Amino acid sequence: MDIVHYLILSALLFIIGAVGVIFKRNVISIFLCIELMLNAVNLSFVAFSSFLSQVHGQVFVFFVMVVAAAEAAVGLAITIVLQRNRGTLSVDDADIMKW
């Protein structure tokens, strides 16, 4: 299989994630979409790593996974606090931080 297929798949996954982030209202959904975007990037890293016969890309994937795990921890904590304090999971209702 050519690398192009991997990249197209990666781009599609990324766009699905990005569109989900923009259009979804539920915090959990947005969260899942962000994970989708990160994993789309991971896919292209692995593809390039294999294509160029270098290990760098795979190393980067580990970094991204670590960051994603940390982000998940913080993000879920925020989600729980949001639910407790404002009784909602919709980001459109959490809009008091503005001018």
Partner 1 sequence: MIDFIWIIPLLPLAGAAVNGLLGKRLPKAVISLVACGTSGMAFLIAIGAVMDLLGRAPDERHILRTFYTWIASGDFVARAEFLLDPLSAVMLLVVTGVGFVIHIYSIGYMHAENGYYRFFAYMNLFLFSMLILILSGNFLLMFVGWEGVGLCSYLLIGYYFEKRSAGDAGKKAFIVNRIGDVGFVLGIFLIFATFNSLDFAEVFRQIATETHRFPVESGVGILTAIGLLLFVGATGKSAQLPLYVWLPDAMEGPTPVSALIHAATMVTAGVYMVVRCSPIFSRAPIALAVVAAIGIVTALFAATIGLVQSDIKRVLAYSTVSQLGYMFAAAGVGAFSAGIFHLMTHAFFKALLFLGAGSVIHALGGEQDLTRMGGMRKYIPVTHATMFTAALAISGIFPLAGFFSKDEILWSAWAHGHPIVWLVGLITAGMTAFYMFRLMFLAFHGQERFSDEARHHLHESPPSMTMPLILLAVLSIVGGLVGLPAWLNLGSNRFFKFMEPSLALAYQPEHEELSHGLELGFAGISVLVAIIGIWIAYGIYVKRPQSAEALATRTKGLYRLLLRKYYVDELYDRVFVNPTVTGSRETLWKGIDMQIIDGTVNGVGRAIMASAGLLKGVQNGHVRSYAAWIFLGAVAVLFGLLMLR
Residues 24-43 that bind partner 1 (CB under 8 A): 24-25, 30
Nearer to partner 1, 34 or 43 (CB): 34
- The token pair at 31 is 């969260």
**Helix H or strand E segment including 6:** helix 3-23
Nearest to 6 by CA among 41, 38, 55, 43: 43
- Is position 94 an interface residue for partner 1 (rule: CB under 8 A)? yes
Question: Shortest distance, CB of residue 37 to partner 1, whole angstroms?
Answer: 10
Question: Shortest distance, CB of residue 84 to partner 1, whole angstroms?
Answer: 18
Nearer to partner 1, 14 or 48 (CB): 14
Q: Which amino acid is at 73?
A: A
- Is position 18 an interface residue for partner 1 (rule: CB under 8 A)? yes
Residue pair 41/48 in contact by the 8 Å Cβ criterion: no
Residues 66-85 that bind partner 1 (CB under 8 A): none
Residue pair 6/44 in contact by the 8 Å Cβ criterion: yes
Binding site for partner 1 (CB under 8 A): 18, 21-25, 30, 91-92, 94-99
